[in-house]
């Protein structure tokens, strides 16, 4: 399987060498951007190969950020149509064929997108889009992410600490040694009797 996948990966790279619409995201993840004249008709199709590809159909995805303006029913229609094409091509390299088939047929699959996009622009579908964006947000509550201010040391205290210590947090060798000559000169001689 890996040899077939490696061969198909090389073929895809050579075919789409100058095509900026094709992107290989990972070893088994490919994206193709379809650009249609007019607003709201551009989209990205993502194809992910499984371990057993091409004996099993690849995973088809349109839930990428670039496709936020595409109507959910249109996304489902496109994904379903591409999956049906993939099922008919099981056992052979199909990524190029799927991309090209969709390139030829995407105009028919985008029916209804114009109305949705106009509604989206006018704000009727904006509530649905903001609800989807809230789902995409990593954390909709910013108070959870805000760190409490560390009431530790000031900048000057930290600077003095770093001046006294090395990078490992240890003090320099001999920091607590005494000067023997100075110590003996202060204590005097032990006395001569």
Task: Print pLDDT tens along the chain (193 aa).
Answer: 588 888 888 998 899 888 888 888 888 899 998 887 666 778 888 999 888 888 898 999 988 888 888 888 888 888 999 899 889 888 888 888 988 988 888 777 777 666 666 666 666 555 555 666 566 555 555 555 555 666 688 888 888 877 777 767 777 777 777 777 787 888 766 655 5
What is the structure's pLDDT at 46? 92
Count of CB atoms situated within 10 Å of the CB of 46: 20
d(CA 71, CA 89): 28
DSSP state for residue 67 in the 8-state scheme: G
Closest CA to 11 of 92, 102, 91: 92
What is the structure's pLDDT at 18? 85
Give the predicted TM-score (pTM) of the model: 0.57
What is the structure's pLDDT at 187? 74
The end-to-end CA distance of the chain, in Å, is 99
Token couple for 145: 């992410």
- Domains contained in the chain, CATH given: 2-136 (3.10.110.10)
d(CA 178, CA 83): 81
């Amino acid at each position: 399987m890996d040899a077939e996948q490696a061969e198909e990966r090389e073929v895809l790279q050579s075919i789409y060498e100058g095509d900026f619409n094709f992107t290989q995201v990972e070893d088994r993840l490919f994206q193709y951007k379809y650009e249609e004249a007019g607003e709201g008709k551009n989209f990205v199709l993502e194809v992910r190969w499984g371990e057993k590809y091409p004996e099993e159909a690849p995973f088809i995805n349109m839930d990428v950020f670039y496709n936020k303006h595409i109507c959910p029913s249109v996304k489902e229609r496109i994904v379903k149509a591409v999956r049906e094409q993939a099922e008919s091509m099981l056992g052979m390299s199909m990524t190029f064929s799927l991309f090209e088939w969709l390139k030829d047929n995407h105009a028919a699959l985008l029916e209804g997108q114009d109305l949705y996009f106009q509604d989206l622009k006018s704000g009727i579908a904006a509530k649905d889009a903001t609800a989807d964006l809230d789902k995409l947000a990593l954390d909709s509550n910013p108070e959870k992410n805000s760190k409490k201010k560390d009431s530790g040391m000031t900048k000057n205290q930290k600077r003095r600490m770093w001046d006294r210590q090395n990078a490992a947090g240890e003090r320099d060798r001999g920091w607590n040694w005494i000067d023997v000559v100075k110590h003996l000169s202060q204590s005097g001689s032990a006395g001569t009797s």
